[in-house]
A and B are shown apart, each in its own frame.
Chain A
Amino acid sequence: MTITAAIYGQRFESILARLGELLSEPEVKDSNIAVKLEKDLYEFRQRGFLTIAFVGEYSAGKSSLISALTGRRDLAISADIATDQCREYEWNGVKLIDTPGLWTERKDHDARTYESIAKADLLVYCLTYSLFDTTTLANFRELAFERNYQTKMLLLVNKMSAEAGNVEDRIVHYTVSLQESLGPNTLQSFPLAFCDARDQLDGEDEGDEELKALSRFDELIVLLNKFIEAKGTTARLDTPLRIVISTLDDVTAACVRDDGRDDQQSHLLKKLTGVIMRQRRALTIKVESEISGLAHSIQKLGSGFAKDIGVNPELQSELEGAQHKIEVLCQQSSDRLQKDIEAAVESLREEVGKEFDSPLMADFMASANTRIDAHAPDTTEFSGSLKKNVAMFKRIADTLGVNASKSMVNAAQASKSGLATGIRTVGKWVGFKFKPWQAANWAKNLTNAVPYIGVALSLLSLASDVASEVEEANNEVKIREAKRDLLNHFNNVAESVSIEVRKSSAEAMEEIYGKVETILSEMKASHEKELGANNEVVRQVTILRAECEDLLKLI
């Protein structure tokens, strides 16, 4: 092994080590990708032979060529598709693989051929005098330039005896046409052979040396040997690299996400979140305006009383009735709130129900379903997360007592179960009672709380023309303080009533919206995390793939 080869070997080992790390990431850990990699590498190390795969369109004469090379006559040769399996034959210490032929309508053949290609060190690409057509050319380009076999490929034109004309002239013309087809890539990088395997076979069988000469097989064998000699050493690194690349493909496949579904899920989450947000907002506004209305009424009551201090002789008795008035206000308020909340629950159920009825939601639920059915349950992370998301959407529907998806249950069943859950849930919320007047239970201690009120009230009777100026000024200050205190007192009552109502409403709203909000934000967070984690793995795969391809071009 040369020094260069040793350096390449080191680079390969480094790639392999990093691939190992990548395979221990949680996204791919559960799959059997690592096991497959181990197995393929093990098989490769066991083999020890240099391997050449014969590939090309069906009936290009791949089997005939191998038969003619190895002298074996037990290969199935046919004008129709003949080779079903990839078979290996030995020739001069080299292993030749016969492949079923590419780009037939038999997709299973293609898959098998690509498997063989991945295990082969060198390729012989077989064409016939028909040369390239658009399909074969596209596939040849893919092998040579996309999959980077360009330095490890020999291009062979078989069936030379089928067309008329001087062979040397035709070789010149074929070469021109091949070059024209391959442009802008150059044909020169591929060793080029022209032969006729059938002539060689018939010549052997009939002992016809002239026919054997026409086959141009001697030229082919010389070319093949040169090709093996030139590419053999470095080509030994090629196969393990391809195994690594195919592992990277597997990792990508495991991480690949359906962008459309991702968009759809984000959109559905966003819409549901929007519905809940707007519902909560509407109720919050209602509650808040009820609270300020109530507070304003209480404050107004207070300011009415305050104005009367020192003016209205009936104030004392009127003030005593204030508690009752406030209690009535509170009762009216909480009755209205009760109705508002009941209406809010109904409206929430209705709106969320609409979302669950939307075609997009139905499509999402159904598609997730089929996907789960189609996959084995433990194949990829993806189907698992989809399943989880569907389950969570269903939990939202259950929480609110709406029908999760019409497409999944039959109509009668759905409406029955939906309705039952709905009533129970509503019942629970409606049972919630406000008791703001507890906070308003204050008037008993009115005198204690506001010491100046008593004074101010007694002052009223004392007020007379005979009172001294000083006395009067003093009294006015006291009355002003009493007014302020009375106002403050009513303000405090309004404040504590507000706090009480707000607290109770917040509890009710938490009950109504909180659970669904929690589920939604959980879903959003896990969706974002999944996307992030996948992106990281995909990024790593891209880096490793680029390195593999670099190395492939070098060897």
Chain B
Amino acid sequence: MNNVLDYPYLLAVHTLCVDGQLHQNELKFMQSLAENISVDPTTLVEADKILAQADNHLNLEAVLQQITPDHYPRALSLVALAAHYDGELDRTEQRLIQRLRQQWKISDDLFTSTQIQAHENAQRLIADLKLKSLGKVSTGAKVLSGLESVLGTAIIDQVVSTLGTESMKTRIQDFRIESLLSGPKYDKAINECREVGLHDIEVTDICLHATAQAIQEISVELDSKIAEIHAHIGDKPAQAAREALSLMKADRAEIERVIQHELEELKELQLKKRRAMNFYTIAFMGRSKAGKSTLHAAVTGGGWDQIGVGRQNTTRLNRVYEWHNIRIIDTPGIATPGGEELEKVAESIIDEADLICFVVTNNNQQSSEFEFLKQLRNKGKPLLVLLNVKEDLSNPLRLKRFLDKPDQAFSDEKDRLGGHIDRIRRDAAEYYGTSNFPIIPVQLLAAQIAQQQPEHEYAQSLMKASRLQHFLDSVRLSLLNEGLLRRSQNLLGSTVADIERPCNYMKTQSNSYLDLSKKLHDQAKESNQRLEKAQEDHARQLEQDLRNLFAELQQAVPDFAEDHWDDSESKLNSAWSDELLRFGIEQKINLAQENAIAKFSEDMKELLAEVNQEINLQRKFSFSSEKLDEQDSSVWFQKTLQWGSGLATLGLGALALANIWNPGGWVMAGIAVVGVLASLFESKATKRRNAVKKISSALESQIENQEQKVVEAALQHFMEQCLSGASSVRTYLKMSEDGLLFVEKILKRGAETLQKQSDILNIHFAARILDFAGGTPSESSAQALRENIRNVRRKVGQSIDVELSPHIKVPEEINLIESVIQEKITIQKAGA
């Protein structure tokens, strides 16, 4: 059975879904594609399952496996067309296409030509569609019927029959977006929105581009610095420098990882904002089973079969419904167990949305929902809460109870709906920072029944009792009255949050690098002093050991002189050499020297271990008090490890230095005994006494001489060893410090550039706000205001503080704007 399926077509269907969005036009496109290439019905059934991401759908891997090499070119062109169809390729689509290219070993020529072809075809198709959809409301209905026919055969009959009865059709359409937002007033609003969008996207684009460039420069500069140090070290065995360099490389890798991620996000963001520019976008978000899909179906008039009965996670893609320049997007639920991937799909729409409609139920609100609201807030998104009053009206008994007292469901008594609204406001104030957003209670099921069963005897009263109209009114209001500012808020205001994120990362990082370099600096100074002292101590000890050695040797002199007073000179010399050998002077000198170096090396090791622990403990305590987020602490942990390993290796290196030290040249010279020959007139006793004295004196001064030389040379050698050890410690600390300072500097510079971008966006946004508050917004008046804005301080999602030139009049209605952008606005005059 399987071999009958048209797998290249199914692959194209997967391509549509891979970005997590399913646009109604995409569905229409797949349908006409299916007609054009005569796809068999069995394949269409499988395609439906993929579009719904049903449990038993053929997944991407399964489809890929079934495609044989002879089908590669066709599959590739279908995939390319599907990917290009919704405009520019996003990263998921690019990844898929690149994967196919590699896996199937597509030649460059074929690949490029396929891409160009697909792009052209897609453009033509999009243009066709635009032509078709321009015009009257009724074409909207046509688009709609196309959408539904792809969604499933069962629903077609229902919709067709619905649309068939003219009177029913009008009544239902009353509650649809099409009729709701038609007419010259709407067209004007939409046109103004588009114009503002065109201007704003330009600014946004420039700022995002500058941000991306600044971020990219950071990695370029890090690389060139590392290359520079590398060249500087060359092939010299500068172990300390290498250690410091490897530390810096590890840091670069970590920074690279973060900024690459940010870059990707920015690229994606640019695409999203471009896409957002053309539409006024409302996204329905909320927990699973809250009623998002029901709401979506109710306002778009289709997709009822996408609604699950009792199960969680029924919506698995962002379903995009587009009409004129409005997009309504249904998303998968948040905070569902095992639904992390789906939640990510839902979150990906936030950047494109002008208004988030957060759907909750009258059951209870969980902290997970408020956590999500916090995320929206951080992105500066305005919010509208739809409170779905859930009751099973499919049961006749409850339906009757509901229709008897329709207002009871919406009662603001504490044990009914009122308690819920109180709690939502209270928790939102705490989590979201404000409860300054509309909460609109709707009985969605009543609206659903009324729309799905128009022949229902209570259809009309159910629709009224559902209060869906309240919701639609506020959407209309939000578009007609506030759409213009929402546009700017999305394109300018929210983008600030996305630039501030990497900006704050860089600032925090740069501060922590500065802090670490300071600590290193202090430690380096102290280490130096301590090593100097250690050198002094051990040198003194060494000198003392050597002097004791020579004093001991001196003690042997009198007896030697007595025993050898009348030896010949050569005999005397060889006897003294034997004496020295027996004494083992050379080994003893070497031992003393080795001892001293070993002790110094030990001190050095101990010092490095201490410095290491000191820095780590200090950082640990200063950080724990500052409460950094997880990302920073993980960087810190990596840092700890690097420090440990780097310094430990250095300590060992110094120890090895002591082991290979092998002194030579401490050989004692022979004794130059002069004038031993006695005078003829002296008695033998006198001769002997004089000879003994002369030999003793000669030996003593000989030894003294040697002592002086040996001590001097040994101390010199010891000092050299110590200095080289100390200097490797110094180099290491100094290079690490410099490296850290360099990273600090370029991160700071990057952060400053980013700060500038967010300032520009904030000023543009502030100008739009003031212009909007003035009542007659236009590009030229916004421009004039912009030039008079001195400064803007903003906490995205919380407050915006504008400083104006003294002569500019502050619009009176500025406070009304607060509820539109849901941020606190303060205006100050410069110099005031």
* A and B part of one assembly: yes
Question: Which of A's residues lie within 8 Å of B, judged by CB?
Answer: 57-60, 77-81, 103, 105, 128-137, 159-166, 169-174, 176-177, 180-181, 183, 210-211, 214, 260, 263-264, 267, 270-271, 274, 278, 281-282, 285-286, 288-289, 292-293, 295-296, 299-300, 303, 306-308, 310-311, 354, 358-360, 363, 463-465, 467, 472, 475-476, 479-480, 483-484, 487, 491
Chain B residues near A173: list those with CB within 8 A: 308-311
Cβ distance A319 to chain B, nearest Cβ, rounded Å: 16
Given the known interface contacts A130-B361, A170-B309, A285-B541, the answer about A77 and B415 at a Cβ–Cβ threshold of 8 Å is yes
Question: Is A129 in contact with B363, judged by CB distance below 8 angstroms?
Answer: yes
B364 and A487 contacting across the interface, CB-CB below 8 Å? no
Q: A176-B311, A480-B562 are in contact. Are A131 and B289 (CB under 8 A)?
A: yes
Minimum Cβ distance to chain B for residue A336 (Å): 13
Enumerate chain B residues within 8 angstroms of A57, measured Cβ to Cβ: 364, 366
Q: Which of A308, A363, A463 contacts B621 (CB 8 A)?
A: A363
Question: In whole angstroms, what is the CA distance A286 to B288 when docked?
Answer: 80
Min Cβ gap B746→A in Å is 27
- Our pick among B310, B414, B617 for the contact of A79 (Cβ within 8 Å) is B414
CB of B228 within 8 Å of the partner chain: no
Query: A79 contacts B416, CB within 8 Å?
Result: yes
Closest residue of B by beta carbon distance from A460: B689
Which one of A134, A161, A166, A467 contacts B685 once the chains associate, using CB atoms below 8 Å?
A467
State whether A78 and B414 are in contact (beta carbons under 8 Å apart), knowing that A164-B392, A303-B558, A467-B685 are contacts in the complex. Answer: yes
- Would you give the shortest CB distance from A476 to chain B, in whole angstroms? 7
Give min CB distance, B639 to chain A, whole Å: 16
- Give a binary string over B384-427; 1 marks a CB under 8 Å from any A CB, 0 the rest: 00000011111101100000000000000011111110110001
Bound CA–CA A306/B555 (angstroms): 12
Expressed in whole angstroms, the Cα–Cα distance for A299 and B395 within the complex equals 119
**CB distance A78 to B419 under 8 Å?**
yes
Interface residues of B, count at CB 8 A: 83
Q: Please, could you name 21 A-B residue pairs with CB atoms under 8 Å apart, sorted by A?
A: A129-B310, A129-B363, A133-B335, A134-B335, A134-B368, A161-B398, A162-B390, A164-B392, A174-B311, A180-B338, A260-B620, A281-B537, A292-B547, A295-B551, A299-B555, A303-B554, A303-B558, A307-B693, A311-B693, A467-B685, A472-B684
A-chain residues with CB within 8 Å of residue B558 when the two chains form the complex: 303, 306-307, 483-484, 487
B423 & A360 in contact (Cβ 8 Å cutoff): no
Chain A CB within 8 A of B548 CB:
yes
Do A292 and B414 touch (CB < 8 A)? no
Q: Are B390 and A135 in contact (CB-based, < 8 A)? A: no
B185 to chain A, nearest CB (A): 36
Given A77-B415, A134-B336, A163 contacting B617 (CB threshold 8 A): no
If over half of A's interface residues share one DSSP class (helix, strand or loop), that class is named, otherwise mixed; here it is helix
Confirm or deny: B775 has a beta carbon within 8 angstroms of a beta carbon on chain A: no
B737 at interface (Cβ–Cβ under 8 A)? Answer: no
Q: Measured between alpha carbons, how far is A165 from B364 in the docked complex, in Å? A: 21
Knowing A165-B310, A282-B537, say if A264 contacts B414 (CB, 8 Å): no
User: Which residues on the B side are within 8 Å of A311 (C-beta)?
Assistant: 689-690, 693
Residue of A whose beta carbon sits closest to that of B557: A303
Q: In the complex, given contacts A181-B312, A359-B618, A487-B555, what are 8 additional A-B residue pairs having Cβ atoms less than 8 angstroms apart? A: A79-B417, A103-B367, A133-B335, A165-B309, A181-B337, A278-B533, A278-B537, A463-B685
Could you tell me if A464 and B537 are in contact, using CB atoms closer than 8 angstroms?
Answer: no
Cβ of B362 under 8 Å from chain A: yes
Q: 1/0 per position for B328-356, CB-CB distance to A under 8 A?
A: 00000001111000000000000000000
Given A131-B289, A296-B551, also A165-B617 (CB < 8 A)? no
Q: Is B92 an interface residue (CB 8 A)?
A: no
Residue B613 interfacial (CB < 8 Å): yes
Knowing A134-B335, A464-B683, the reply to whether A165 touches B394 (Cβ < 8 A) is yes
Interface centre among B335, B610, B617, B618, by most chain A C-beta atoms within 10 angstroms, is B617
Of B310, B557, B621, which is within 8 A of A177 by CB?
B310
Are A79 and B420 in touch, CB under 8 angstroms?
Answer: yes
Closest residue on chain A to residue B426 by CB atoms: A80
Q: Decide: B547 and A162 in contact? CB cutoff 8 A.
A: no
* Interface set, chain B 672-718, CB cutoff 8 A to A: 683-686, 688-690, 692-693, 696-697, 700
Residues of B within 8 A of A131 (CB): 289, 312
| Known pairs A289-B540, A360-B614; A162 contacts B364 (CB<8 A) | no
Residue of B nearest to A473 (CB): B685
- Residues on the A chain within 8 Å of B692, using CB: 307
Q: How far apart sit A49 and B288, CA to CA, in the bound complex (Å)?
A: 40
Q: Which of B597-636 contact A (CB under 8 A)?
A: 603, 606, 610, 613-614, 617-618, 620-622, 624
Q: Looking across the interface, which residue of chain B has its beta carbon closest to that of A487? A: B558
The smallest C-beta distance from A19 to any residue of chain B, in angstroms, reads 35
Complex interface: chain B residues within 8 A of A128 (CB): 363-364
Which residues from chain B contact A172 at a C-beta distance below 8 Å? 310
With contacts A164-B393, A463-B683 known, is A130 near B617, CB below 8 A? Answer: no
B686 & A163 in contact (Cβ 8 Å cutoff): no
Chain A nearest CB, measured from B361 CB (Å): 7
* Also in contact, A310 and B689, with CB within 8 A (given A77-B415, A105-B430): yes
B631 CB, min distance to chain A CBs, angstroms: 21
**Which B residue sits closest to A275, measured CB to CB?**
B530
